[in-house]
Amino acid sequence: MVSDSENYVAANTSLTVTVTAARRNQGYWGRVWTRLLRDWGTLAAISIIALILLAAIFAPLLATHDPTQGSVLGRLKGFGYNGHILGTDETGRDLYSRLLYGSRLTLITGVLPVLLALIIGGFLGVIAGYFGGLINSLIMRVMDVLYAFPSVLLAIAITGMLGSGVTNTILALTITFVPPLVRISETVTSQTRAMDFIEVARSSGAGSFTIIRFHVLSNILAPVLIYATSLISISIILAAGLSFLGLGVTPPNAEWGLMLNNLRSAIWVNPAIAAFPGLMIFITSMSFNLMSDGLRRAMDLKL
Amino acid sequence: MTGTNANMASDPAIVETQRPLLSVENLRKHFPIKGGLFGRTQAVVQAVDDVSFEIRKGETLGIVGESGSGKSTTARVIMHLFEADAGKVVFDGETVGRGGIAYRELCLNVQMVFQDSYSALNPRMPIGLSIAFGSMAHGVPRKEALDKAAILLSKVGLDPATFANRYSHELSGGQRQRVNIARALALKPRLILLDEAVSALDKSIEAQVLDLLLDLKGELDLTYLFISHDLNVVRYISDRVLVMYLGKVVEVGPVEDVYENPRHPYTRALLSSMPSMDPRNRTMEAPLSGDPPNPINPPSGCRFRTRCRFAETVCGKSSPALTAHSDMNARHAVACHMHDPGSGHSLASQTEAPE
Amino acid sequence: MWFFILRRILYAVPVLLGVSIIVFTLVQLSPGDVVDILIPPEAPEEVADALRKQYGLNEPVYIQYFIWLGHLLQGDLGTSIFSGQPVGGELASALLNTLKLAVPAAILGMTSGIILGSLAAFHNGTWLDRLFSAAAITGVSLPHYWVGIVLVVAFAVIWNVLPGQGMGPDGFPATWEQIRHLILPVFTMSLIPMGVVSRLVRATVLEVIGRDFVTTLHAKGLLNRRVLMHVSKNAAPAVLALMGLQFGYLLGGSVLVETVFNWPGSGNLMVLAVFRRDVPVLSATIVVLAAIFVVINIVVDILQALIDPRLRR
């Protein structure tokens, strides 16, 4: 009996080794990484995001002037005026330094809501998708109500009612992005839930929490993460938009959307200057979009 | 097979008592279909209805039937993947559930192998870890569980050095099903439910995996519940066979007895549809016609009557009970009015005195 | 089918109730109440209390909710604190002005999106695909309010060929003067649906082209036009759903474009209400826009079900 099964092992392995010897053992994320390293466009987008992030972190070191220090005489001056690389804004503050500092609040109000919504929405979606039934109905029906508001409207409704400021902007955008993230994680979780390996895990006596941690999360991570990254660009545009309307970050803080609003009156005097904050919003959101698309390709997912 | 018999004889438990390893009593599982304006229950699929059977230690019980007959649902209810609506499952003398052995403990004794070898493995997990997961869920340290997984891999004929870190998509169907078997063995179960475990494999691979199952059974003293629609495979591997039709058991008995001398018209039709290797042994019985009726609204009385050549009024009135009749092997039972002398069916032998 | 439509409409009732609860909660959470805004802070307490009583503000919160909901259901959207006029009239004319932007912007954005997306998909991998895909990703990445400002700078400030502010004469846009005012804001607004729709159309069409039945059609030697018909029929439900959503976003999200172009639409009304702390106008605008969005979604669902019977769950 024993010798029999040993023969079996020998015969079988010699056969399979020849078939698969050429391939490396590579997990899903290993393959994603390999594909990503070959995609120079996505790498470029990621580098730009990294640069903007570094600029935000080291703004105090890189800035040439105090971003809130104005000058009555030096208002709306052009490039290079009196040591102001990009000129000055409507109260004579250094535009270059304000753009540097502005990246901080734009990134915080743009990225943080998606991150928070990913945590909250991902959690609710996984719970709804895994347990189904009444819990699912409860969570999804509440999301349907939030879905009844177009995203911009919901964000404006919240900041408009509760007042402007960084905290309320983040709160408003988080609530705006929770429903889509719940929906996507619910969908992919219930798809995963229908696979036999979940039943296999259940039949091994593992608890729901263990199964979610080991078997569900690893399978939903890629699509949910991709979806979240695609929201960052929208979030940045929306966050800056709220500040542009005067509902987001309050003066005299530097934020690109707010700067765009303040410089709006300056377009009649010095149009080139008004272009910079908008350009920065565009470059940032474009980079996040390109990164999201590249990651999607690398993770081999459908839209 | 000789190994199996030797093991059975050497097991004192079997010699002492004839207590079944698993017995299923009046198991019922209905699935409500919701719909309509307010999502109320519109209809009920009677997937498993009043099913009872036993599996003795060391034997292989085959379950056959068309798709939709409730074979897989039965296995899933035993495995507690579905909650039973009624009836009970008794494992080794202890009722599963309230007042008996806990579900987690049942998992250590009963494991299941699924048909779809790909879907049964987490695509994001190396297969070594997939095998070790069950042990880890029961508190075995990761390292130890992985070592054990390597031993199990070699036991099912896969070199652990080559395979333990592979992912399921890098394996062939036969290799994946070997992994699934190793995974099922990890908790050292006494009973394994094989739900169409070899059905999706190529014929040559299927034979290899069947032999592996037989080897493992002898070596590890296992008991199998073998579900398949392939009658040849069931005959090859099973000691006894159970025939299901639309959620009911229609016939059960020792495999040779049932195959050589089928009693239920459904079993006969099923067996006659089996392709024969011998041209002289042509199919004489009329094959089954039509699809099985919808399990949402099964026919009244005997569920097979709508496709049965011998159906009479009595068949629509009462549901025949699964009984061993006196002209049959004591372990062979059938649920058909034709074989029940007191039923009033014209073909039932009136001469036979009821006991 | 009628059953499906009825069920879909009935389902909107709890959603709309939920919407009203959310808006009412936001009103409750907003700092201060109507009376604080109406009277100066130095006014005697008795005056404030009398006014609170008049507005029903001394009632328990849930009673206030039902009173407010009752008025809403009767079509009474309240009275503007700022103008003293009924909100309904102001809102109706503002919504009409928003539609003047949203409808042409939706038509322009979605048709160009569908054309760009399907051209890119049918020429998958060529320079045309790369060009259109780049245009689409730029479209979704652009802060459209900034594009609006840039357009104003270019066309109104530098070249002075088109008006950059306001709506011009009232009424249905028929005269050249009225249409001139529409050009810049409509183009700005159409950028969002164009980018989003073309990206989805490209992905959906590529997916449908990849399916077996299209290969079969090609193999059968069917003309490209027939293939195109099959593809569009299969891609339609997903695209339609997105277009419905996008139109809703245009209505609800016109705020930014309206602010840039000083367009007297519903978004503009909403922002003004925020700064005037005109809570009745703000809450009514939000409720009505959300209700319109819900109706659009129902219509889209029904249209989808008409095209693809499998969706009639």
List average pLDDT for each run of 10 residues in chain B, which is 355 residues long. Answer: 42 54 91 69 83 92 88 90 88 82 86 91 92 92 94 93 89 92 93 91 90 93 93 92 92 91 88 70 62 77 86 86 79 87 73 43
Minimum mean pLDDT range among A190-204, A241-255, B133-147, B177-191: A241-255
B104–chain A Cβ distance below 8 A for any pair: yes
Q: What is the dihedral of CA C284, C285, C288, C289, to 10 degrees?
A: -160
Per-residue pLDDT at A302 = 52
Both tokens of B235, joined, read 């005959």
Nearest residue to B47 via CA among B5, B89, B75: B75
- Give the three-class secondary structure for B242: strand
Report residue B149: phi and psi, to 5°. -60, -40
CB pairs under 8 A between A and C: 145
Nearest Cα residue in chain C from A286: C141
Q: What is the helix (H) or strand (E) element at residue B40, kind and residue range?
A: strand B40-55
Give the dihedral of Cα atoms B177, B181, B186, B192; nearest 10 deg: 140
What per-residue confidence (pLDDT) applies to C92?
92
Any CB–CB contact under 8 A between B215 and chain A? yes
Q: Which of helix, strand or coil describes residue A246? A: coil
> What's the rounded mean pLDDT across residues A51-63?
90
Q: State the pLDDT at residue B10.
A: 43
Q: Hey, are the CB atoms on C30 and A141 less than 8 Å from each other?
A: no
Q: pLDDT band at A47, cuts 50/70/90?
A: very high
Nearest to B295 by CA among B24, B25, B71, B40: B71
pLDDT value at residue A41: 87
Q: Does the distance separating the beta carbons of A278 and C143 come in below 8 Å?
A: yes
Q: Which of A17, A28, A195 sits opposite B162 (nearest CB)?
A: A17
What's residue A10's pLDDT?
42
Residue A8: the pLDDT is 43
| Helix, strand or coil, per DSSP, at residue B295 | coil
pLDDT at residue A17 in the model: 40
**Average pLDDT rounded to a whole number, residues A108-122:** 96
Shortest CA gap A212–chain C (Å): 29
Whether the bond into A252 is cis, omega within 30 of 0: yes
* Residue in C with minimal Cα distance to A267: C153
Q: Give the span between the Cα atoms of B202 and B185, in whole angstroms.
A: 23
> Closest by alpha carbon to A291, among A114, A104, A86?
A114
Are the beta carbons of B180 and B113 closer than 8 angstroms? yes
pLDDT along chain C (313 residues), means of 10: 84 91 88 70 75 74 87 84 85 91 91 90 87 89 90 85 80 79 92 89 84 71 70 80 84 86 91 87 90 89 80 62
Q: What is the pLDDT of residue B217?
A: 93
Query: CA–CA separation, A230 vs A45, rounded Å?
Result: 13
Residue B90's SS3 state is: strand
Hey, are the CB atoms on A25 and B166 less than 8 Å from each other? yes
For A206, which of B137, B172, B212 is closest by C-beta distance?
B137
Predicted confidence (pLDDT) per residue in A80-97, tens digit: 667 777 777 777 788 888
Interchain CB distance below 8 Å, C19 and A244: no
Give CA–CA dist B168/B183, Å, rounded: 13
Backbone angles phi, psi at B195, to 5 degrees: -95, 100
DSSP states of B17-30: ----SEEEEEEEEE
With contacts defined as CB-CB under 8 Å, which chain A residues touch B104?
Answer: 205
CA distance C153 to B61: 83
Distance of CA A36 to the CA centre of its chain: 18
CB contact set of B91 (below 8 Å; sequence gap of 6+) = B21, B22, B101, B106, B109, B110, B191
Structure-block tokens of residue A108: 């915080």
Helix H or strand E encompassing C201: helix C176-210
Domains of chain C with CATH codes: 103-271 (1.10.3720.10)
Domains of chain B and CATH, by start: 19-238 (3.40.50.300), 264-274+298-355 (no CATH)
Residue A293 in contact with residue A36, Cβ under 8 Å?
Answer: no
Q: Which residue in the set A12, A28, A204 is minimally distant from B137, CB to CB?
A: A204
In the predicted model, is pLDDT for residue A100 greater than 50?
yes
Q: How distant is the Cα of B116 from the closest Cα of chain C, in angstroms?
A: 24
Contact flag C289-A150 (C-beta cutoff 8 Å): yes
Question: Is pTM beyond 0.90 here?
Answer: no
**What's the confidence (pLDDT) of residue B13?**
42
What gap in Å lies between CA A62 and CA A52, rounded to an integer? 12
Locate A98 and state its tokens.
């304000």
Q: Chain B to chain C, count of Cβ pairs less than 8 Å apart?
A: 4
Residue A76: pLDDT band with limits 50, 70, 90: low
Q: What integer pLDDT is reported at residue C45 of this predicted model? A: 76
Q: How do residues C101-156 score in pLDDT, each as one tens digit? A: 999 999 999 999 999 998 888 888 889 988 988 888 898 899 988 999 889 888 88
Contacts of B187 in chain A (CB under 8 A): 204-205
Q: Is B116 on the interface with A (CB under 8 A)?
A: yes
For residue B39, what pLDDT is reported? 62
How many CB atoms neighbour CB A219 within 10 A?
21
Q: What dihedral angle (degrees, nearest 10) is formed by the CA atoms of A230, A231, A234, A237? A: -110
> What gap in Å lies between CA C220 and CA C56, rounded to an integer?
73
Q: State the ipTM, two decimals.
A: 0.87
**CA atoms within 13 A of residue C247's CA, in its CB half-sphere:** 22
Partners of residue A151 in chain C, C-beta under 8 Å: 249, 252-253
CA distance A142 to chain C (A): 8
3-class DSSP assignment, residue A302: coil
pLDDT at residue A57, as a whole number: 93
pLDDT for the residue numbered C247: 87
- Residue closest to A256 by CA, chosen among A137, A99, A145: A99
Q: What per-residue confidence (pLDDT) applies to C5?
A: 86
Interface contact A303-C30, CB threshold 8 A:
no
Bridge-partner residues for B323, per DSSP? B334
Chain B neighbors of A203, CB-CB under 8 A? 79-81, 107, 111-112
What are phi and psi for residue A17, nearest 5 degrees? Answer: -60, -45
> Could you give the residue ranges of the DSSP H alpha helices within A59-148?
59-62, 95-131, 133-147
Q: What is the mean pLDDT of residues A227-255?
A: 90
The predicted pLDDT at position B153 comes to 95
Query: CB of B142 within 8 A of CB of A238?
Result: no
CB B81 within 8 A of CB A196: no
Quote the tokens at residue A7: 């023969």
The tally of CA atoms less than 13 A away on the side-chain side of residue A53 is: 10
Q: What are phi and psi of A69, to 5 degrees?
A: -85, 110
**C10 contact residues in B (CB cutoff 8 A):** 37
Q: A24 at the B interface (CB within 8 A)?
A: no
Measure CB to CB from residue C137 to each of A141, A241, A289 and give the nearest one: A289
Distance CA A244, CA A74 (A): 24
Q: What is the pLDDT of residue A114?
A: 97
CB distance B265 to B309 below 8 Å: yes
Distance between CA atoms of A255 and A102, rounded to whole angstroms? 4
pLDDT class of A27 with cuts at 50, 70, 90? confident
Please list the alpha-helical segments (H only) found in B26-172. Answer: 71-78, 103-109, 127-137, 142-155, 160-163
